[in-house]
């Protein structure tokens, strides 16, 4: 599933082709894509509204319109792109939601697995109120992370995946941040020392920033709005590198399951003692 860097890259790629353009009509062929409101109301409300800004909250894409906000969650296989009406794309066979724009262009939402969702709302908070802090914002400080970790009886990997704890981090960048910080993914969150919390704070931000710099990780379905791939996967320290040598110590990267997710780490650089694990 696209994480914060991938979604941020999509947002940046949509701003130029979307902002200032008016919605003329809506088309869909899979009702479950439209979370709310009812498709008929959705179509009636969005027609005539103009895109004013495109931003992000966690893994949600927020398209500010004249009155409402169009919210899109890509889920596992979602792709968004703006093209001329007659343009053909390799992602077109899986388009299940489309907005007809002025000047002969369309915003297409391709989603092979059909898990993606679109929302139209006049109150973004209704959708995003339970999300945790944005890890790249200035107000996400070491003290904030320390306070949120205090007393938490979960493994640190599971906690990083919890979108109510911190917004936008998923399986890839949790592994990358923990590896950079030298923290085993099975560590109990409450066992982290003050120094480790500070280190983890820095590496969460570093891993996510690197992901944005390399325009996301193209491992499966993710593509930028122009159809090209991201490069982040070429620069991973741990994720997807099972059996390959750790770039720090040379020991093979190992893979286990934590919180039902494949988890990559170096047992030498990320040691675990018996009193630090929840297992």
The domain segmentation of the chain, as residue ranges, is 4-128, 142-265
> At residue 276, does pLDDT exceed 90?
no
What pLDDT sits at residue 1?
Answer: 82
- Please classify residue 167 by burial: count the beta carbons closer than 10 Å to its beta carbon, then call 0-12 exposed, 13-18 middle and 19+ buried: buried
57 — phi, psi (to 5°)? -135, 115
What pLDDT sits at residue 279?
Answer: 56
- The answer to whether 182 touches 200, Cβ cutoff 8 Å, is no
pLDDT digits (tens, 9 = 90+) for 55-88: 999 999 999 999 999 999 999 999 999 999 999 9
Q: Is 59 a catalytic residue?
A: yes
The active-site residue out of 3, 6, 8, 176 is: 3
* CATH architecture, range 142-265: Orthogonal Bundle (1.10)
Q: Is 261 a catalytic residue?
A: yes
Please give the structure tokens belonging to residue 113: 């697995």
The pLDDT > 70 percentage for the chain reads 99
Q: Is 84 a catalytic residue?
A: no
Q: If pLDDT is split at 50, 70 and 90, which confidence band does 274 have?
A: confident
Mean of pLDDT values over 222-238: 97
Which of 7, 272, 276, 2 minimizes the C-alpha distance to 136? 7
- CATH topology for the 4-128 domain: N-terminal domain of MutM-like DNA repair proteins (3.20.190)
> At residue 196, does pLDDT exceed 70?
yes
Q: Is 88 left (phi over 0), alpha (psi -120 to 50) or beta?
A: beta
The active-site residue out of 5, 6, 8, 59 is: 59
Which of 262, 234, 238 minimizes the C-alpha distance to 248? 238
> At residue 6, does pLDDT exceed 80?
yes
CA separation for the pair 5, 213 (Å, rounded): 8
CA separation for the pair 154, 279 (Å, rounded): 10
Q: Is 56 a catalytic residue?
A: no
The active-site residue out of 39, 75, 261, 267 is: 261
What pLDDT sits at residue 67?
Answer: 98
């Amino acid at each position: 599933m696209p994480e914060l860097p991938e979604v941020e890259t999509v947002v940046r790629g949509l701003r130029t082709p979307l902002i200032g353009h008016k919605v003329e009509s809506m088309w869909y062929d899979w009702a479950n894509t439209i979370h709310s409101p009812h498709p008929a109301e959705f179509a009636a409300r969005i027609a005539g509204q103009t895109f004013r800004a495109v931003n992000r909250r966690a893994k949600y894409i927020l398209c500010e319109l004249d009155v409402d906000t169009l919210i899109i969650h890509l889920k596992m296989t979602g792709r968004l792109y703006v093209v001329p009406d007659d343009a053909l794309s390799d992602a077109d066979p899986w388009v299940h939601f489309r907005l007809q724009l002025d000047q002969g262009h369309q915003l297409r939402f391709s989603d092979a697995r059909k898990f993606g969702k679109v929302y139209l709302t006049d109150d973004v908070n209704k959708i995003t109120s339970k999300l945790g802090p944005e890890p790249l914002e200035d107000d996400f400080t070491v003290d904030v992370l320390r306070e949120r970790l205090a007393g938490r009886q979960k493994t640190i990997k599971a906690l990083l995946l919890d979108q109510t704890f911190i917004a936008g981090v998923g399986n890839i960048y949790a592994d990358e941040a923990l590896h950079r910080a030298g923290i085993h993914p099975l560590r109990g969150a409450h066992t982290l020392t003050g120094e480790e919390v500070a280190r983890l704070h820095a590496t969460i931000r570093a891993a996510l920033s690197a992901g944005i710099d390399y325009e996301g990780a193209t491992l499966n379905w993710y593509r930028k709005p122009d159809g090209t791939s991201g490069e982040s996967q070429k620069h991973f320290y741990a994720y997807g590198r099972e059996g390959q040598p750790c770039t720090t110590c040379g020991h093979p990267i190992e893979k286990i399951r934590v919180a039902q997710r494949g988890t990559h780490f170096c047992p030498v650089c990320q040691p675990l003692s018996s009193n630090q694990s929840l297992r």
